[in-house]
Amino acid sequence: MPVLAPGNGKTKTGRLWTYVRDGRPAGEEVADAVWFAYSADRKGEHRRQHLKNFKGALQADAYTGFHDIYGADIYEAACWAHARRKFHEIHVVHKSPTTTEALTRIGALYAIEDEIRGKLADLRLNIRQTRARPLLDELRRWMEKTQRSLSLKSETAVAIRYALSRWRALTRYTDDGMLEIDNSAAERALRAVALRRKNFLFVGSVCGGERTAAMYSLIGSAKLNGIDPELYLRTVLAQIAPVSRIHDLLPWSLAASLQSHTSQAA
């Protein structure tokens, strides 16, 4: 995110970190939310602070800044969308039997996910264990065999190494019905940031970055809870006092009433 640098009229690069909690694919009725956090740089101290009280699975891309926080309390669940993208980018430019095979095999995994999206976690776990696990075992054997026939420097070999080096994290979703096959929830949340570029060029200060992150968090969480963001913000502004009622005005607290209002208006 471009941030105005004081005194010289130029901008510097600030950072937005995105964390999403979305239980809908696993049939959970929970408070779905997205949290954006602003920082002036990309140092690891920021995500350590963000996650200091968190325990469980963190599903992310292969950004090295996360690697040192994986351990007993936080374990990695990798993203198949990123692994697939490496093969797809090669396939678009240099289509080959190998890239076609890789995309077909990964596509079969996604087909299973399409069938079980919205189902309860126990059912998702059972289906993944019985159907996805064997496909993953076959995929790994195929990748290992194919890798031996490729030049180490070839783009396809690099894509295969990317997947094999993260295999435990990439297959962890088959051991937990709550996990997803990828972190597309975070990718979707970031679309709002891409749209921002059409509306303003930069934020004016660090405080502006923090306020922008707060607004993205509210708007994104409203969307996750099925609420029209404009209706949500109008409702909050009309009821914001006293501030002690803030919990009652969070998106999931207003979801039922505002969803009903939207349905009647439609």
The whole-angstrom separation of Cα 249 and Cα 252 is 8
Residue 61 — very low, low, confident or very high, per pLDDT cuts 50/70/90?
Answer: confident
Residue 41 — very low, low, confident or very high, per pLDDT cuts 50/70/90?
Answer: confident
End-to-end CA distance of the chain: give it in Å, rounded: 36
∠170-42-163 over CA atoms, to 5°? 20
Q: β-strands 15-21, 11-13: how paired? A: unpaired
Residue 158 — very low, low, confident or very high, per pLDDT cuts 50/70/90?
Answer: very high
Query: Which residue, among 57, 44, 21, has the nearest Cα to 169 in the 3D structure?
Result: 57
13-27, 137-151, 196-210: least confidently modelled range? 196-210
Per-residue pLDDT at 9: 76
CA dihedral 116, 19, 75, 180 (to 10 degrees): 10
- Is 229 in contact with 219 (CB distance < 8 Å)? yes
DSSP 200: -
DSSP 173: G
Residue 261 — very low, low, confident or very high, per pLDDT cuts 50/70/90?
Answer: low
Q: What is the mean pLDDT of residues 24-29?
A: 87
**If you compute the radius of gyration of the chain from its CA atoms, what whole number of angstroms results?**
21
The whole-angstrom separation of Cα 103 and Cα 249 is 44
pTM: 0.84
Per-residue pLDDT at 116: 96
Is pLDDT above 60 for 262? no
Per-residue pLDDT at 31: 84
More confident residue, 168 or 258: 168
∠141-146-147 over CA atoms, to 5°? 100
Q: β-strands 74-77, 15-21: how paired? A: unpaired
Region of 226 (left: φ > 0; alpha: ψ -120 to 50; beta: rest) is left
Instruction: Give the count of alpha carbons within 13 A of 190, CB side only.
Output: 11
- Is 212 in contact with 3 (CB distance < 8 Å)? no
72 membership: H or E segment, kind and range: none
Alpha carbon 79 to its chain centroid, in Å, reads 9
Q: What is the pLDDT of residues 64-122, one digit of tens each?
A: 777 788 888 999 999 999 999 999 999 999 999 999 999 999 999 999 999 999 999 99
Two tokens, residue 129: 């264990």
Dihedral of alpha carbons 253, 257, 259, 265, sign: negative
More confident residue, 193 or 153: 153
